[in-house]
Amino acid sequence: MRKLFFLLLLVACQTGNAQTYPARPVRLIVGFTPGGGVDINARLLAPKLSEALGQPVIVENKPGAGTNIANEFVAKSAPDGYTLLFNSPAVAINMSLYKDPHYDVIRDFAPVSVFSDSTNILVVPSSLPAKTVKELVALARDKPGTLNFSSAGSGTTQHLAGELFKLRTGTQMVHVPYRGSAPSIAALLSAEVQLSFVNPLAIGGHVKSGRLRALAVATAKREAIFPDVPGFAEAGVPDFEVSTWYGLFAPKATPDGPLDVLHGAIQAALAAEDIKRIWAEQGARVDLESRPAFADFVRHEVERWSRIAKAVDIPME
């Protein structure tokens, strides 16, 4: 009888949470500086969430340590649905790059929903003589260790994509991490670095203006967003697919009520015509429609990036 009482009390509390949530502003924590893909997507999502929830949704940037600062902050926050994490594969990749990141993405987070998923694009400054992947590889082999590739920080998909590219092509290049995509792209535009793997949402305009040159999309075949740019297999580099997804997480013990409300709000955002138009323009997609599906996906991502990190032999920090 005592157990039944507490079970009924828990159900009642969760139902109440769902009915009253949210009663105050919601914080969306981003582990990158403003201007990059994660931040841009967070700021696209925030007003949609605010509209659906009836409360302000505030994007707060906490960059540093490959997003571990933001990840740990949210993991240790109150599990009430008011402090949330918006991140990319970095939250899964870090499980393989850090010996003790002070959180575990499987143990400490409740995946809420994916917001978008798109490929990465290998881009170079227009001043670089290489106009194809083959020419870039030849240049890298001719001058080992002299080409630099930028990333939004250690442990990001941009970092791992560069390391995987080195492995698949047998080249030697130097990784230059920045504190977010914006400074990474700025370094690329100024030719401070010679290449990077970037999400189309962040660099599509620079490619169209001619300041950057797209050499390949990190998929097996071409993407509709850049029909003139080959996939890596077509460009001569097989087994090279690196996508970037953006998703929402809550602390693990957050009740189902708020999680369901948040998931429903994101589904409403994805159904909005302006978001659908932006995703079509940027080649983004969303294939995971439920919380359990996203949770399974995150577990697979941890396993997948662990295999890649071991293959490219990146030492744990």
> Where do you find CATH 3.40.190.10 in the chain?
121-217
- Report the C-alpha gap between 112 and 125 in whole angstroms: 37
Contact 202, 40 (CB under 8 A): yes
Q: Residue 10 carries which side chain, given as an amino acid letter?
A: L
Angle 273-282/200-209 helices, nearest 10 degrees?
60
- In the numeric block, the tokens 């490929």 are attached to 119
Instruction: Specify the fold of 121-217.
Output: D-Maltodextrin-Binding Protein; domain 2 (3.40.190)
Q: How far apart are CA 36 and CA 184, in angstroms?
A: 9
For 24-118+245-311, CATH number out of 3.40.190.150, 3.30.360.10, 3.40.50.10440, 3.30.230.10 equals 3.40.190.150
Q: Which is more confident, 8 or 271?
A: 271
Residue 48, CB half-sphere, CA atoms under 13 Å: how many?
21
Per-residue pLDDT at 17 exceeds 60: no
List pLDDT tens digits, range 197-225. Answer: 998 878 888 999 999 999 999 987 888 88
122, 211 contact by CB (below 8 A): no
The pLDDT-based confidence of 6 (bands split at 50, 70, 90) is very low
Listed in order, the ranges of the chain carrying CATH 3.40.190.150 are: 24-118+245-311
Torsion of CA 73, 305, 154, 280, to 10 degrees: -80
Residue 124 β-bridge partners: 213
Residue range 244-273, pLDDT digits in tens: 899 999 999 999 999 999 999 999 999 999
